[in-house]
Structure 1
C-alpha cells in the first residue's frame, strides 16, 4: 500500500510539550501570561543545519525540545495554492529556480528544500493546508502573509480549514489587520503596535484587544515602557531578538538577555536562536508545566462564543 507524503509527515516525532487547544491563540497566550511564561517563537519554523525554513520536518525538530510557537511565511503558487515560503523566488530555499507565482503546485513538488547552509534536503515545500493539519494538537502558527496574498481570503481559508484555534494572521498595516478581523470575528491578529495611539486606532475600528498580538518590532534596545502599557491594556506582547540581539548572543555566548526580556514583559519572543533562547528563559520558568495546565483548562472552551 502506498503511503502519502503527508501521511509520513504526520508520523514525525511528537511534540515534547504539545499545545492542544480549541480556543483562539490569543486566549491561550493570555493563559500563559497569567502563569508568567514567555513563549519562544521559532522564526520561519526554526531552521537549523539539515532542517530548512518553512518545512514541517523542521517544525517537528523544533518542537522536540519543548513548547514553541512557530512563525511561518505564506505565499501562493501560480495555480493559487497557499504554500509556506519566505522568498518571491525559489532559488534560495529550493532546488528550483524562478518566481513562485509563476510555478504551479505540481511543479513545485518536484523540487527539494535547501537549508540555510545551501545543503539539499529530502524535504519538499508544504502547502498551508498540510501545515495547518499537522499543527493540530502540536503548536500554534503565526502566518506571515506575504505581499500579493489577500489577507481576508487567507483568513477565510484558515477558518474553512477549521484551524483558527491554532493559527494567527500577521498583518503589516492597520488596514490589513482590520480586513483580517472583518473576515472572521474570532481570528487572532498580529500587527505592529509601537504606541498607545496605534492601539487606540485599532480598538476604535473594532479590533478587540483580547484577540490582538502586538508586534513591537526588532531592536537592540528593550522597550519595557511600551510592553508595560500593552500588558495593562490586555494585549499580547511580541518582540524580535532577530539579528541584533541574536547576533550579540552568538558572538558573546551570554544568553542572559533572553531572560531579561521575559522579565520585562515580552509574551512572545521571536528568535533565530530559538532553542538557546528557550533554554535561557526556561531556567526561571516552567513553560512545559504551564502549557499542560493551559491545554487542560482551555482545551474544550471552543471558539464559537
Structure 2
C-alpha cells in the first residue's frame, strides 16, 4: 500500500537530488553598479569595450513572453544584458509592460489595453513568441524597475505614459540604474531637469538630430545613442562624432538582421555589427547574439569589473 509517508519520502529524495540542487543554485549574469557614476562608466565608449547586448522587450524565446519578468531572468542566465521595455497605461492609469496598444498578439485577451483596469488585466496570461499561452502575468513598470536593481538595467521606451508620470515612478522606485529612451532633445532636457543623474538612450539618426542635442547642451556622459537598424554612410559619420565624445552607439537588429532566415546568417550579421564599430546591439534574439559573438569578446575591458553573478 502506498501511503502519504511514502510520498513524503519520495519528495524529500527529489529535493535532495543533484538536479534539484542545481536548480536551487541557478545563477544569472548581472550588471553590478554601486552608484550612478559606475552605471555611466559602464556605458562610456572606449577603444576596448565589452560588446554589450540589449534584449529588445527582454528577448524572444520559446516559452518566455516578451516584456515579462520570467524572460528577463531567463535571458540573464545566458549573458549579462540590459533590456528595452515598453510601458503603457491601463484604464485606471497603472503603468504596465506591453508593447502593443492591443492585447491579442501577446496575451489571451482581446481589445485595447487602455479599456481594461489593472485588476482586470491581472486575470490575463501572456503568450510566448509562438503564440502559446503561458502562466506569466503582465508586470507593472514598478515591478520591473524594482526587480532590476542590482541585476540589470531597464531601458524604458516611450509609448503612451506621460513623461511626468514616468519621472514620478522612477523617483518612487529610488533606482537610478535605469535608462530612458527619448526621441528628441526636448524630451532629454525634461528628464535631466528632473534628475541630472538619469541615463538616456537617445535617437540620433541624422546630423540634424545630433546638432539639436549639441544646441540643448545635453551632457554626452549621460547618454547612449541609437543610430539606426543598420549602417548607412550618414550614421557611420555620426558614430565617429559620438564615439569621439565618449558616447556608446547602438544598432538595433530587431527589424533587420533578426529577420534573416537562418541562425548562420544571423550570427554572421551580429558579428559584423560589432566589427563595424557599434558598442551595443539591441536584438529580439539576445541569446543568439551572445552565442555568435562569444569568441570575439575581449578578455579584459573597462566593463569587466561591473560584470558579476547572482543567484536567481
Shorter-chain TM band: 0.7 to 0.9
* Contact 1:178–1:207 (8 Å) recurs in 2: yes
Indicate whether 1:283 and 2:295 are aligned. Answer: yes
* Contact 2:53–2:289 (8 Å) recurs in 1: yes
Q: What CA distance in whole angstroms lies between the structure 1 residues aligned with 2:245 and 2:293?
A: 24
Residue 29 of structure 1, aligned match among 43, 46, 66: 43
Indicate whether 1:256 and 2:239 are aligned. Answer: no
Q: Gapped runs of 5+ residues in structure 1?
A: 1-10, 297-305
User: In the alignment, which residue of structure 1 is the partner of 2:118?
Assistant: 105
Q: Alpha-carbon deviations, 1:34-85, whole Å to 9, x = none? A: 6421211111111211101000001111110011111111111111211111
Report the count of equivalent residues. 283
Q: What CA distance in whole angstroms lies between the structure 2 residues aligned with 1:263 and 1:192?
A: 22
Pairwise CA distance, 1:199: 2.4
Q: Larger radius of gyration, structure 1 or 2?
A: 2
Q: Alpha-carbon deviations, 1:159-193, whole Å to 9, x = none? A: 2211222x101112332222222221111111211
**Greater CA deviation, 61-70 or 150-159?**
150-159
User: In the alignment, which residue of structure 1 is the partner of 2:31?
Assistant: 19
TM-score (norm: length of structure 1): 0.84
Q: What CA distance in whole angstroms lies between the structure 2 residues aligned with 1:267 and 1:37?
A: 8
* Contact 1:113–1:125 (8 Å) recurs in 2: yes
Residue 172 of structure 1, aligned match among 183, 199, 207: 183
Q: Alpha-carbon deviations, 1:179-228, whole Å to 9, x = none? A: 22222111111121124442232132131111112111113758433212
User: In the alignment, which residue of structure 2 is the partner of 1:96?
Assistant: 109
Indicate whether 1:186 and 2:197 are aligned. Answer: yes
Residue 150 of structure 1, aligned match among 152, 156, 162: 162
Q: Gapped runs of 5+ residues in structure 2?
A: 1-22
User: In the alignment, which residue of structure 2 is the partner of 1:4?
Assistant: none
Superposed CA RMSD in Å reads 2.5
* Contact 1:217–1:240 (8 Å) recurs in 2: yes
Change in CA separation of 1:186 and 1:76 when aligned onto 2, cut-off 3 Å = same
